[in-house]
Amino acid sequence: MIAFFDACHIDMWDVIKQGNYIPLDQAGNEIPKAQWSEEQKQRFLLNSKARSALMCALFEEEYTKVHSFRSAKHMWDTLALTYKGSLEVKRNKLRLLERKYELFEMEESESIQTMFGRFQTIFNELSFLGRTYDNFDHIEKLLRSLPRK
């Protein structure tokens, strides 16, 4: 998704990561649009484009969670928490996937393609959570997972 935002505009990802680009005065009140500077208008436009891109990429369930947010950052943070979870949830997912990786075996009536697809899914999820193995480990694990026949 970051690559998409960068392709749209070089500063769009910064707008999402840094925060709300709805101009506020010192008291925290929204400044009327007629009083915005050109830079404030540009930032608001990038925020709006980022919000639009996020909304277009979401399924209805996720869309309903974030469609009312005016800040792309707020949307992104909410979606990140939903999909990545808290640190504790992430650790638990990682432990579960590591266990699946350790116990991985080819099932009796399973084809090699299906087995490899299951293995690849576990590997990708582990990589997403920051756990990596080198290629030698993968090859060894796959070979040991095959039945004797």
SS3 24: strand
pLDDT digits (tens, 9 = 90+) for 7-51: 889 889 988 988 867 888 899 899 999 999 998 999 899 999 999
Region 123-142: mean pLDDT is 87
pTM of the model: 0.56
